[in-house]
Amino acid sequence: MYLDHIVHFTEEHPQETVDYWNRLKFPAVLGGQHLQWGTHNALFYAKDCYIEWLAVENPAIAKQAHHPLTELLLHDKSGFGTVCLRTDNIEELDKRLQDQGFETSGVLDAERRTSAGKLIRWKMLFIKEAVSDQLPCPFFIQWQERDAVRLENLRQSGALLPESEMLEVEKCIFGVNDVAAHTEKWTKLLGGKLDLANCRIEFQSAHGKKERLEKVAFKAAEQEVTFADGVYWLPEKGNNKGN
């Protein structure tokens, strides 16, 4: 299982998010619109995962969407929301989780239209749980395209640059009230270990009222950047002042 992407909620327009990260010399791009959810996003691709900065575009649609991720966005508004893990057999994963006693959403079809008008499709799977200040479970994704094809399409579109493919997420650090309990639960969710194929999951005592992802650390990190209530440890590229 792989880290597919990190969902970071923001109240900024995606273009403002892109402009901020581009000033830091990290090439973010406009993602697109989730028309059925009332949201839109900006994206930053690394070697084999990406950051999604997700914002509400149409509040009326978002409130009526009743989608787990949209509901979490409306609750949190800003800051890291959750992480998405990539699988190549989401139906089999759904069966395993249900057999282990987790109540799931069942496999959901999803899509978004890019700023260039291309329709991208995928399947999603959520653990059923109430939205609250407690740590949400990760959710799971299976893309319509094979990984090699999807990555090549991102290269061809200019969203995944050669310098970005050198960047790797080393660990995601979550702040929780009970480290042992979350370690046990997530080990079960992830199939027996917290070390993903491309990232390590860590838990520490929470620094705020909410249990959430608190820090995203890239390999060879040399600078700390705080954006929309989320902390990144990043390689040194350009400056970290947004000038």
pLDDT of the residue at 240: 37
Q: What is the pLDDT of residues 91-129, one digit of tens each?
A: 999 999 999 999 999 999 988 787 778 888 999 999 999
Give me the mean pLDDT over the 28-41 stretch: 92
Give me the mean pLDDT over the 40-57 stretch: 96
pLDDT of the residue at 237: 66
Q: Is residue 10 packed enough to be buried (19+ CB in 10 Å), middle (13-18) or exposed (0-12)?
A: buried
**62 located within any domain:** yes
**102 located within any domain:** yes
pLDDT of the residue at 116: 76
The residue type of 200 is R
Give the chain's radius of gyration (CA, Å).
Answer: 17
Q: How many domains does the chain have?
A: 1
pLDDT at 166 over 50: yes
**37 located within any domain:** yes
**156 located within any domain:** yes
pLDDT of the residue at 95: 98
Mean of all residue pLDDT scores within the chain: 93
C-alpha–C-alpha distance, residues 237 and 243, integer Å: 13
pLDDT of the residue at 242: 37
**179 located within any domain:** no
157 or 15, which is more confident?
15
**104 located within any domain:** yes
Structural tokens at position 104 = 């799931």
pLDDT of the residue at 112: 79
Q: What are phi and psi of 181, to 5 degrees?
A: -65, -40
CATH, residue 122:
3.10.180.10
> Domain residues for 87?
2-165
The predicted model scores a pTM of 0.92
Q: What is the pLDDT of residues 182-229, one digit of tens each?
A: 999 999 999 999 999 999 999 999 988 899 999 999 999 999 999 999
Q: Kind of pairing, strands 108-114 and 223-227? A: unpaired
pLDDT of the residue at 157: 87
**96 located within any domain:** yes
